Amino acid sequence: MKELWKLKYSDIKKGLNSGEFTPIELAQSLVSRIEAEDSKIKAFLSWEKESILKAAAESTERRKSGNPLSEFDGIPIGVKDNICIENTITSCASKILENYRSPFHATAIEKLLAKGFVLIPRANMDEFAMGSSTENSAYQVTKNPFDTARIPGGSSGGSAAAVAASFVPVALGSDTGGSVRQPASLCGIYGLKPTYGTVSRYGLVAYASSLDQIGPLSKDIDGIIDVYSVISGKDQRDATSKNIPAFDPSKVKELPWKGLKIGKMKITSEIEPDIAKAYESLLAELESKGAQLVDLDFSLLSNSIPIYYIIATAECSSNLSRFDGIRFGQRKDPSGKLEDLYVTTRSEGFGKEVQRRILLGTFSLSAGYYDAYYGRAQKARVLIKKEYEGYFSKVDLILQPTSPTTAFKVGEKTSDPIQMYKADILTTSVNLAGVPAMSVPIGTDSKGLPIGLQITAPALHEDKIFGFAKMISDWASKVELPETIK
Amino acid sequence: MNLNEESLQKIAELSRLKIDPKDIQNFLTDFNKVLNYVDTITELNVSSVSDEDLYPNEGNSLRADKTVEGLNRSQIESFAPSFQNGYFVVPKVIET
């Protein structure tokens, strides 16, 4: 069998459209790869070989008869376990939804199926998307394909590891405070958090509704552009969806180096030295090509994690109140009393991190603390939005490292929630402001672990991010994805 | 600020959660660490933010007043923990 799993997204698309190989040959190759290697990575909570091969066979027939649904027909895509697929378990890696089968498709899934993508659910994640390491899953810890003693990042760690391990060329994750970009960075791939409101949240199980956004992860930039162009656009079923058409990939153009204004940050002690070195050397190269570097003051953004945790947990406390044992998933009914049913179902169904966030959210929304915490955090969020507007009056793009560290060891930060929360120190402000950002691989540290660069643009300017990512694609090609997993 | 055990239990009650007595000290320690960390926002000066900034008038986002297909009874039954004759079953709530 041809080792088609080794191919990057753009080569897969080319090979399918030229007839070099068929969707079923491709799916068989990927399924074999998953069968052989996923016991070491644990990227998937479960996957159904028959349904993957059936969808690939149908795509093959469409292509043979000359009626493909689109140029993407037959491309496999991994799906995070919090995005609903009809008649498929969507557990959010939580015990409380252990056996919940969604009765409907998320809008993003409907759009992908209409174009012929072959779905490969259920990528592991931090429970209800709460975490930065994929150690908070109720079922298993996903490992980083570059070093299986280390975490892949979170909360979309299953999706990121599946792409890096060559189980799928592209995957869907969700990003509330960095949950696509941080694991993309730690796994040496691309990951996009789109402008808030450009991808429908219908069918994405809510964690923090004003911050959550579905985003793609891929081995190459073309995978990100294509999937974003398919899943974006107005959706009547999501009231926060922006009234804009789907992203037009023809808008992506390389930018002129001369006069390109790039906002940069001052390196702090929180950034690992190898990451700082890779970042500084990239900036020096960009300057030598004619880009103009502008120092930005990120002092307000350094407060973004506290602001994020107040807002996100308040929304989580409200959103997760629907899991009460009455209508969905698991029910624990020890005494036959309604109050006990609620309390026991939720206490046994939610993991510790989810419980901690519900409690924090309930606290900040409670009488006596609302003004000091939630009300103040909402005002601070407005300041962050204004801060970004100020930056983008001076620069075209902002560049920062995506993560302050490369992949850390399994268990290294689980005993200290603050250390874990700080993994998202460079990503959360983007969600608070609602602007788009993408992580791009730019090198490796002295241990061979990937380093990511975060590119942030003004709202609705994903085209600038993509154009710039293409311009620096030489750096991404230095990061070799692991063919064999240690 | 720091929460004491009594306040934490009250918040747990509001959240419909029960903290295992053997975990309470660890939970309280972790919770207070997080609370002290997010407490820094109480020092931020947000006086320049007006109500108009906070609730910008972006207009209502309303759908057309049209009937659309929803979930049918068998779909609901398939994911409900306990469902009979078109109703979700709950424990008895009225004493006789």
Give residue-wise pLDDT tens across range A263-272.
Answer: 999 999 899 9
Asked if the Cβ–Cβ distance from A418 to B34 is below 8 Å, we say yes
Q: Tokens 């899991």 — which residue? A: A323
The reply to whether A422 touches chain B by the CB within 8 Å rule is no
Q: How far apart are CA A321 and CA A80, in angstroms?
A: 22
In sequence order, what are the beta bridge partners of A190?
A218
Interface list for chain B against chain A, based on CB atoms closer than 8 Å: 3, 8, 11-12, 14-20, 27, 30-31, 33-35, 37-42, 44, 46, 48-49, 53-54, 61, 63, 71, 75-76, 78-82, 88, 90-93
| A336/chain B closest Cα distance in angstroms | 6
Going by pLDDT thresholds of 50, 70 and 90, the confidence category of residue B2 is confident
Buried b (16+ CB within 10 A) or exposed e, A372-399: ebbbbbbbbbbbbbebbeebbeebbbbb
Chain segment B48-85, per-residue pLDDT in tens:
998 888 877 666 777 788 998 888 999 999 999 999 99
**Predicted local distance difference test score (pLDDT) of residue B58:** 67
Residue A443 has pLDDT above 90, yes or no: yes
Best of A240, A359, A413 to substitute, by most chain B Cβ atoms within 10 angstroms, is A359
A80 noted as active-site residue: yes
In sequence order, what are the beta bridge partners of A217?
A171, A191
Going by pLDDT thresholds of 50, 70 and 90, the confidence category of residue A475 is confident
Asked if the Cβ–Cβ distance from A343 to B49 is below 8 Å, we say no
Q: How far apart are CA A144 and CA A485, in angstroms?
A: 9
| B10/chain A closest Cα distance in angstroms | 10
pLDDT averaged over every residue in chain A: 96
Among A477, A439, A483, CA closest to A216: A439
Asked if the Cβ–Cβ distance from A366 to B53 is below 8 Å, we say no
Residue A216 has pLDDT above 70, yes or no: yes
Best of B9, B28, B32, B46 to substitute, by most chain A Cβ atoms within 10 angstroms, is B46
Residue from the list B46, B79, B90 with its beta carbon closest to the beta carbon of A338: B90
The lowest-confidence range among A81-90, A305-314, A432-441, B63-72 is: B63-72
The reply to whether A292 touches chain B by the CB within 8 Å rule is no
Write the DSSP string, A261-289.
Answer: EEEE----TTS-HHHHHHHHHHHHHHHHT
The lowest-confidence range among A115-119, A175-179, A418-422, A473-477 is: A473-477
In sequence order, what are the beta bridge partners of A438?
A192, A455
**Predicted local distance difference test score (pLDDT) of residue B81:** 93
Best of A244, A301, A362 to substitute, by most chain B Cβ atoms within 10 angstroms, is A362
**Predicted local distance difference test score (pLDDT) of residue A250:** 96
**Predicted local distance difference test score (pLDDT) of residue B95:** 77
Residue from the list B38, B78, B82 with its beta carbon closest to the beta carbon of A310: B38
Q: Which residue of B has its CA nearest to A319?
A: B15
Phi, psi of A171 (to 5 degrees): -150, 160
Chain segment A357-416, per-residue pLDDT in tens:
999 999 999 988 999 999 999 999 999 999 999 999 999 999 999 999 999 999 999 989
| B5/chain A closest Cα distance in angstroms | 13
Asked if the Cβ–Cβ distance from A356 to B42 is below 8 Å, we say no
Among A361, A351, A346, CA closest to A135: A351
| B3/chain A closest Cα distance in angstroms | 10
Average pLDDT of the residues in A288-292:
96
**Predicted local distance difference test score (pLDDT) of residue A1:** 58
Asked if the Cβ–Cβ distance from A376 to B44 is below 8 Å, we say yes
Q: Which of A59, A94, A155, A241 is catalytic?
A: A155
Q: How far apart are CA A482 and CA A467, in angstroms?
A: 26
**Predicted local distance difference test score (pLDDT) of residue B51:** 80
Q: Tokens 């998953």 — which residue? A: A34
Asked if the Cβ–Cβ distance from B41 to A373 is below 8 Å, we say yes
Residue A308 has pLDDT above 90, yes or no: yes
Q: Residues with Cβ < 8 Å from A390, sequence gap 6 or more?
A: none
In sequence order, what are the beta bridge partners of A147?
A144
Residue from the list A104, A338, A377 with its beta carbon closest to the beta carbon of B41: A377
Residue A346 has pLDDT above 80, yes or no: yes
Q: Which of A 225-244 lie inside 8 A of B, CB atoms?
A: 236, 239-240
Asked if the Cβ–Cβ distance from A380 to B41 is below 8 Å, we say yes
Going by pLDDT thresholds of 50, 70 and 90, the confidence category of residue A483 is confident
Q: Which of A 97-136 lie inside 8 A of B, CB atoms?
A: 100-101, 103-104
Asked if the Cβ–Cβ distance from A417 to B33 is below 8 Å, we say yes
Residue pair A108/A231 in contact (Cβ under 8 Å)? The answer is yes
Chain segment A161-206, per-residue pLDDT in tens:
999 999 999 999 999 999 999 999 999 999 999 999 999 999 999 9
Using DSSP, state whether A454 is helix, strand or coil.
Answer: strand
Residue A328 has pLDDT above 80, yes or no: yes
**Predicted local distance difference test score (pLDDT) of residue B10:** 95
Write the DSSP string, A56-124.
Answer: HHHHHHHHHTT--SSTTTT-EEEEETTB--TTSB--TT-GGGTTPBPSS--HHHHHHHHTTPEEEEEE-
Contact list in B for residue A342 (CB cut-off 8 A) is 16
Structure tokens that stand for A465 in this block:
């991010």
Structure tokens that stand for A142 in this block:
């996903």
Best of B16, B63, B90 to substitute, by most chain A Cβ atoms within 10 angstroms, is B16
**Predicted local distance difference test score (pLDDT) of residue B93:** 87
Pairing assessment for the beta strands A170-174 and A76-80 based on DSSP bridges: parallel
**Predicted local distance difference test score (pLDDT) of residue B70:** 87
**Predicted local distance difference test score (pLDDT) of residue A355:** 96
Q: Which residue of B has its CA nearest to A350?
A: B17
**Predicted local distance difference test score (pLDDT) of residue B59:** 67
